[in-house]
Amino acid sequence: MRLLGSEIDNSSLMQPLIALKSIPSLERLSTLKRYALLFDSFYATQHFGITNIPGMRNYASLEAQATFDFLCETQILQMPPAGFSITDLPLMPEVRSIMNPYAERVLAHLESPNKTTEKAVWDVFTRLRTFELEKNSGMRAVPILEQAPPPALTCPSLALSDVLSIGVDYLPVPSETCSWQDILDIRTELHDKLWAFRRFLRGLAATTKTEPEIRDEIEWSLNEYQNAMKLHGLKTARSALELFVIPPLEFAENLVKLNWSKIAKGALSIRKQKIELMEAEMNAPGREVAYVFETKQRFQKKQYRLPAT
């Protein structure tokens, strides 16, 4: 933790949020961008339990190699540590309990392989590697799955990993032109709002709400926050018009006449508007999901819409 006088570096206070994702090739690293808006870093594992991700670099394009190197250097992407393996025999009871609910789906893949059944195999290995990671390092990561879990793994109230997955559904999908540095920059700029959104999701996970109820809670909060920001925009529209449309001629005249008091008054008015916006954001209903609203605005640059459920 960094301390500077009486100031505390808030970035060190937010608990890291780690995910584990299975990727078929380094060309697919861009699929992590949306998840990176919520998660701090990822442990990567290749499909079907092969964990030699660095070895995949030799067969990747130069662009994918550069992306892989950047993500490793910034510790967004990490490799699972060596140690206990889920393939060690005899299989542990915990390993069997993870595999058993997927037995029917895996059997369906063996009988008639296709892209849909293949995802079930990816998911079971992702869950197994998540368990393996916890055994080897004590790190509890969130498995990012391709499909909804089998009925045997579901219950009326959702686990934190399920709620986080729902939260990701409301975040924008960055375009191909969006760089990884853009992702890091917006996470830094909106740090406090990201922190609030994570706490909001954790709070929902601590309840007994069902998935439809959780989605309704998120969407209601988004709607409340959007309306609050729209109202604030209407209130400040007139003063903004006075500041940025009418004053240029007066500003030039004041500058020539060295009328510094009027120039300073305009600067203070702009500062006042910024402060009022911050206050409006801090007090707005639904402010827990302000991060979703802001990232939608930044990455999509179009009118905000709630995702379909």
Q: For the segment 92-117, what is each residue's pLDDT rounded down to a tens digit?
A: 888 888 888 888 988 888 899 888 88
For residue 270, what pLDDT is reported?
Answer: 47
Distances (CA, A) of 63 to 27, 71, 247: 8, 12, 49
Query: Cα 273 vs. chain centroid, distance in angstroms?
Result: 29
Mean pLDDT: which of 125-134, 271-280, 283-292 is highest?
125-134
β-pairing, 18-23 vs 142-143, is parallel
pLDDT over 90, % of the chain: 26
- Polymer length of the chain: 309
Find the range with the poorest average confidence among 1-5, 43-47, 191-195, 224-228.
1-5
pTM, 2 dp: 0.76
Q: pLDDT category, 241, cuts 50, 70, 90?
A: very low
Residue given tokens 């995949």 in the structure block: 56
Q: For 52, phi and psi rounded to 5 degrees?
A: -85, 65
Distances (CA, A) of 155 to 147, 152, 162, 186: 16, 8, 11, 35
Q: In this predicted model, what pLDDT tens digit does every residue of 31-83 receive, in sequence order? A: 899 999 999 999 887 655 445 677 788 888 999 899 999 999 999 998 878 78
Please give the angle made by the CA atoms of 215, 202 and 309, to the nearest 5 degrees: 15
Q: In this predicted model, what pLDDT tens digit does every residue of 175-190 receive, in sequence order? A: 888 899 999 999 999 9
Residue type, 267: A
Strand positions, DSSP E, the chain: 3-4, 7-8, 18-23, 41-46, 77-78, 142-143
> CA 183, CA 43: separation in Å to the nearest integer?
18
> CA 54, CA 215: separation in Å to the nearest integer?
38
Q: In this predicted model, what pLDDT tens digit does every residue of 16-27 receive, in sequence order? A: 899 998 877 788
Considering only residues 200 and 147, tell me which one the structure prediction assigns the higher pLDDT: 200
Q: In this predicted model, what pLDDT tens digit does every residue of 244-282 receive, in sequence order? A: 444 555 555 555 555 545 544 554 444 545 544 444 444
Rg of the chain (C-alpha set): 24
β-pairing, 41-46 vs 18-23, is parallel
For residue 57, what pLDDT is reported?
Answer: 83
β-pairing, 7-8 vs 3-4, is antiparallel
Q: How much is the average pLDDT of 151-159? A: 68
Collect contacts of 55-59 with beta carbons under 8 A, ≥24 apart.
Answer: 56/25, 56/26, 57/26, 59/25
For residue 55, what pLDDT is reported?
Answer: 77
For residue 81, what pLDDT is reported?
Answer: 80
CB atoms within 10 A of CB 77: 23
User: Of 68, 86, 87, 88, which Cα lies nearest the Cα of 78?
Assistant: 68
For residue 22, what pLDDT is reported?
Answer: 81
For residue 306, what pLDDT is reported?
Answer: 44
Q: How much is the average pLDDT of 138-155? A: 80
Positive or negative: CA dihedral 55, 60, 63, 67: negative
- Is-contact 170 307, C-beta < 8 A? yes
